[in-house]
Structure formats: structure tokens, C-alpha cells
Amino acid sequence: IEMFCDSIALYGVVPPFSTPRKVVVDFSSPNIAKEMHVGHLRSTIIGECVCRIFEYLGFEVVRVSHVGDWGTQFGMLIAHLEETFPNFITDPPAISDLQRFYKDSKKRFDDDVNFKKRSQLKVVSLQSGTDESVRNAWSIICDISRRDFERIYSRLGVSITEKGESFYQSRMSLIVKELEESKLIVKEDNCMVIHVPEIRVPLFIVKSDGGYTYDTSDIATLRYRIFEEKADWIIYIVDIGQRDHFSTIFKLGRMMSWYDPLITRVEHIGFGLVLGENRKKFKTRSGDTIKLSDLLDEGVSRSKAKLLERGLGDRFSNEEIDKISESVGYSCIKYADLSKNLTSDYEFSFDRMLEDRGNTAVYLMYCYSRIRSIIRKSGVSQQEIVDYVSEKGIKATHESEFKL
């Protein structure tokens, strides 16, 4: 322990030796045309933490958000957008409008046969690239969502690059051809599927209407990361409910001899759900999914109330209080997540995470500030500490020091 303390005092915190590798971390990955919600919280926080650890170790880290920016839902959304917001190109709607449009378009798609046909034609136009106005509408929808995502990432201090499902569409036909040549594909009910040994549910490669699936997209994504991004390590940070799906995709990759697990690591980091204090899925009182922006706002609001309750409003300006409230609020939300068992569901409680004692971010920040205060009041400079440790070293002699 004394040698460890000496090392930190003299050289600071130094990362352990490791051979630098290229690692792709897939995390967050919200859906276009929908606001980020509490379900994206854990993947976003855990993913950012994993990336920072790898960067600290000197790895080349590629942060990727595999957003849901493709599929049949865009046909109905574009059709509804064109009819409801004819000037959407010059006057794009806010994300909250787009959220409502999604629900309204889905209802029309289910109830209106003619609207359903128009939506299906929009999908064909989007996928074939034959209608520039449809492609422009799709781009605008993506841009509106993207700006909203960036606001969330900025608040949480998250850095990530978007590379969604649409990016891999041009590679789909080549993937299908390669899988066909491998003789793994079989036809069932006019669909093209692959039965992976010891896996109960097959992978659906091509639907009966000729369209590709999420399975096809994930297979294309894996291949791209191995052969084009040349990753040494690929990590998917997605909820634990997707464990079997990714296990199947990875096994297919090995069957295709795309990678040797002894050389290239490909793994899924699963995590549990965020629950309310009633041990049920964390939702609003009306039963709706909680928006991540609202959750962050609530965290900042409660943090500010705690600060003012302790009389800090007399010591800091309003601007400083707002900044401190954000820092404390976001830190509490992050730490409450990271301090829990990764694979277990956990109860989200603002009251517990804002406690100033126990295993909380507030207590850790308090301890850190106290330590800094003691050093500052001691009048001893950093160089004096280094000189002392170099000559005499740190000796633990008191019972309280051993306990610490």
C-alpha cells in the first residue's frame, strides 16, 4: 500500500501496460423520428464510460451510434409529413411535432388503406432512390432527430459518431450473395433464412416481399467492422434482452470464417432495465415512456433545490448555481447507473442518488472537495509533496491510516 501511495504521489495515476488495439464500441443507437427516452440511458452512459477507459489505455476507439434510420416506418412518416406539413422543406417541424406525427402516421397506416398504399410507395421510392423529394424528406426527418440527439449527448458529455442502418443498405445485396454462395441460406415460406446450429430461432435474411431485415443489417454491420474498419475488438452495448440475437450473429460470423475469436474479439455487453421505485418499468404516471430530456431536467431541478436548501445561494451567483446544479445532477444520474450491477435491473430514485452520504456521486464529490481543501489549507505545494515522498516515502503508522 505504501509503495502504491508513493507511486501516485510521484507520478500520478498511470494506466497499466497494454498493447494498443482498435476497438469499435456500438452504443446508444436511438431511433430516428423518436425522442430519446429512459431506455437509452444505460447504453449511452455505459458506452461512454467504456470508451473513456479504452482511450485512457491508449486504444484507438471508434464510437458508433447504430441509429434506426431506415425501414418501412419512414414511408408512412414521409407520406403523413408531406400531407400535414406541405412546406416542411422550408419550415421543418420541431422534434416534438415529429414525435406526434409518428404516432398519427402509424394510426393512419393501420386504419386507412389508401394511406397505407401511398406509404408503401414512398418506401419503394426511398429504397430505390428514384424520387429526390422523398430522399430530401427522409434527410430532413433525420436531421431534426439528429439535432435533438446531439443536445442530449452534449448535456451528458458524450462523444459519438452516427453510422445508422441506412449506411449499410448498399452492402445488403453483396451480403446476401456471399451467404448464398456459402450454402447456408434456405428458403422457407418464400423467405430466405439461415439456421445457425444450436440456435432455435433462425436468422431472416430476405423477406417474402424481397426486403431485407434487421438481421441482414446486423450481419452487414459486423462484416463491415471486421473487414473495412479492421477492428481488433468489437463491442455492442445493448440491453441484455438482445443477448441471444447477438450470439447468433457472432456465431454466423465465425461460421463464415470472417474472424478468429482468438485474434478478433467480438462481444455483447448486456445490461438490465431501469425500473421505477415500484419495481416496474420506469414510466410517467400516465404510463408513457419517460423522455430522456425530461429526466435530465428533473435531475438538474432537484439538484438545484438541494443546493439552495443548504444555503449555497448566498455564496454563488445564479449562473454559478445553475452550472453546479447541472454538474451535480448529471453526475448523480451517471454514477447511480454505473455503481449498480451491470446485468441487473435497477430502481431509479432521485432521492437516493442525491443523498450526501453512502455510495453516491454527491458523497464522492464532497470527499474530493474536502481532500482538496485540506491540501490547500496545509500550505504545502505539490512539489514539496513530491520532494518529501522521494526522500522519505509515505509511511502508514496510525490506526486510522490503516483503516483508511
Domain boundaries, the chain: 1-69+164-271, 72-156
| 82, amino acid identity | E
Q: pLDDT for 314-329, tens place per residue?
A: 899 999 999 999 999 9
Confidence category of residue 260, pLDDT binned at 50, 70, 90 = very high
Mean pLDDT score, 167-194: 96
Retrieve residue 337's grid coordinates: 447507473
Per CATH, the homologous superfamily of domain 1-69+164-271 is HUPs (3.40.50.620)
Is 7 exposed, middle or buried (CB count within 10 Å of its CB: 0-12, 13-18, 19+)? middle
User: Where would I find the H helices in 182-314?
Assistant: 214-227, 243-255, 292-309
Instruction: Taking residues 168-190, report their average pLDDT.
Output: 96
pLDDT band at 2 (very low <50, low <70, confident <90, very high): confident
Segment 343-358, tens digit of pLDDT:
999 999 999 999 988 9
pLDDT one-digit tens code per residue, 13-30: 888 888 889 999 999 999
67 Cβ contact partners less than 8 Å away, ≥ 6 residues apart = 29, 30, 31, 32, 149, 162, 164, 165
Average per-residue pLDDT for the chain? 92
pLDDT tens, residue by residue, 360-371: 999 999 999 998
Phi-psi region of 189 (alpha: psi -120 to 50; beta: other; left: phi over 0): left
Q: How confident is the model at residue 95 (pLDDT cuts 50, 70, 90)?
A: low
Cell of 151: 443536445
- Tell me, what DSSP letter sits at residue 188? E
| pLDDT reading at 249 higher than 90 | yes
Residue 385's pLDDT is 87
Q: What sections of 20-129 are H helices per DSSP?
A: 41-56, 73-84, 95-111, 113-128
According to DSSP, residue 170 is labeled G
**pLDDT-derived band at 93, boundaries 50, 70, 90:** confident
pLDDT category of residue 230 using cuts at 50, 70 and 90? very high
For the record, the C-alpha cell of 4 comes out as 502504491
102 pLDDT above the threshold of 80: yes
Q: What is the pTM of this model?
A: 0.91
Alpha helices in 112-190 (DSSP H): 113-128, 132-156, 172-181
Residue 1: pLDDT above 80? no
pLDDT 10s digits, 29-67:
999 988 899 999 999 999 999 999 999 999 999 999 999
Coil, strand or helix at 74: helix
pLDDT at 252 (0 to 100)? 98
pLDDT tens for residues 65-84? 999 999 889 999 999 989 98
Residue at 355: amino acid letter: E
pLDDT given for residue 330 in this prediction: 97
